[in-house]
Structure 1
């Protein structure tokens, strides 16, 4: 085998072999004093590839994000409230959601919300090849674009919050920004809902300036708490932004007044 063929073989092997690096699970020490949580060593890992979990500017802005793996009958209610309150959100969708709830997907885009990538089949990115990860993301992007006309898909949220340096590098190469979160709670178990007040207080107890809030639309509690939650946050001086706003703020310096 010539040297050139050997290099080609090794390149193909790296491209198609699964990632064997240790998978990291996104997590943090929750803060209860209106400050961002402590994410430890994950902070530098995320920043290395221009990902985010919080808006570091310190403004009293909240970014609502929803993970949509499947439809449980509450997304329409969530969209109704967001429309009534004039609040933007980002919905991270899977292939199952795209195929089973296309009308809701179209409504999200029509009403000005962002649609993010949560992969086609919800695999652990750290256990699949680079080519397979690319395929998972491209399939979602192309399907959403075909259904809604959304021209670009900039944000990815890894299934199960599992990632490592390699998968973040690959996502960056594919043109995606990792969107983690700084406020979340165990809300996805549909048979263990605890009432809207539980969801309401679970968010408010962790809220802080620049919070990226993760909610699941399969939660009845979330749907019933959302209106009161938005009202209370506004009473506390918070306003709501989209993830596009957050990214723009990172790269455009604040104006220098008086010049």
Structure 2
């Protein structure tokens, strides 16, 4: 019996060994219900490979990221895939007002020219100004398209009654980065008016611009260039820089049917041109049409365009 038991045991062990040898060669099977270990690949996942092969971010992108702006980078192949998969949002451009801090570099002299405060500051500059608006969205947008092309800023001297008629046009000027100036409420000659009337003409514009844009106007130009002592007094009380101009484009004298208006406007400006020129223009169709060529001409003569925010506003 003992011998039979030993034989049976040997037979049983042989059967177990044969079964094990005929099984999977990759190792013992995991017990039922046990979790399978994660299989690690020697090569990185596709997303990791793309990140590893992508070029390093440019200094501009790095700076934008540090400033909190969203920066999106993609390889040309990835860009192509994105364009075929979804509509592009590349055309979305912010038109928020420019709130950048601008150093005060210039002041206005008695001739209403713009001159440097300190030695070494570029003096070959001109100040661009447009009066009697806001009138028309298409003209305003065209003016700003040209100003943006030349990286130029300008003052838009507005009348209060026009702002009241269409406040959205003032918002448009503000949104596109224009510096707003006060041109009185009714565009009347102020020099012979009473203090109270001049005060209302000026301060009502201050109020409506503040209401519409949230900004406080810093520049005042009297209609027809005649504000008189009372206009200067009320301007100072409202912390406004009083100015007329030193170069007139004479665009206001031109007629719709007149030919060659662009050439005449440019000649009117360049004939009087000098460092610090304070150039008077208006929101008029022919001025809009001539502006690009005028600014190109000024640049060709070595002039740049002063940012009105860099002009000193003296304390009253």
Whether 1:197 and 2:256 are equivalent positions in the alignment is no
Whether 1:243 and 2:308 are equivalent positions in the alignment is yes
Q: What residue in structure 2 maps to residue 104 of structure 1?
A: 169
**Pairwise CA distance, 1:52:** 5.8
Please give the root-mean-square deviation of Cα atoms over the aligned residues, in Å: 2.4
Alpha carbons of structure 1 residues 143 and 104: separation in structure 2 relative to 1, 3 Å: same
d(CA) in 2 for partners of 1:94, 1:65: 14
**Conserved? CA contact 2:135–2:162, under 8 Å:** yes
**Conserved? CA contact 2:152–2:305, under 8 Å:** yes
Alpha carbons of structure 1 residues 244 and 157: separation in structure 2 relative to 1, 3 Å: same
SS for the counterpart of 1:92 is strand
Q: What residue in structure 2 maps to residue 168 of structure 1?
A: 232
d(CA) in 1 for partners of 2:133, 2:178: 17
Greater CA drift, 103-112 or 87-96: 103-112
d(CA) in 2 for partners of 1:188, 1:205: 17
**Pairwise CA distance, 1:227:** 0.6
Structure 1: which 5+ residue stretches go unaligned? 1-46, 252-259
Greater CA drift, 82-91 or 100-109: 100-109
The higher radius of gyration belongs to: 2
Moved segments of 4+, more than 6 Å = none
**Conserved? CA contact 1:116–1:153, under 8 Å:** yes
Q: Which of 113, 130, 135 is residue 54 of structure 1 equivalent to?
A: 113
- Please give the TM-score of this superposition, normalised by the length of structure 1: 0.69
Whether 1:148 and 2:207 are equivalent positions in the alignment is no
d(CA) in 2 for partners of 1:51, 1:134: 23
Alpha carbons of structure 1 residues 185 and 236: separation in structure 2 relative to 1, 3 Å: closer
Whether 1:208 and 2:274 are equivalent positions in the alignment is yes
Whether 1:121 and 2:186 are equivalent positions in the alignment is yes
SS for the counterpart of 1:205 is helix
d(CA) in 2 for partners of 1:166, 1:146: 25
Structure possessing the higher relative contact order (Cα contacts under 8 Å, 6 or more residues apart): 1
Q: What residue in structure 2 maps to residue 177 of structure 1?
A: 241
Structure 2: which 5+ residue stretches go unaligned? 1-107, 117-121
**Pairwise CA distance, 1:69:** 4.4
d(CA) in 2 for partners of 1:97, 1:81: 23
**Cα offsets for 1:185-212 (capped at 9, x unmatched):** 3212463544211112211222111111
**Conserved? CA contact 2:146–2:291, under 8 Å:** yes
**Pairwise CA distance, 1:115:** 0.5
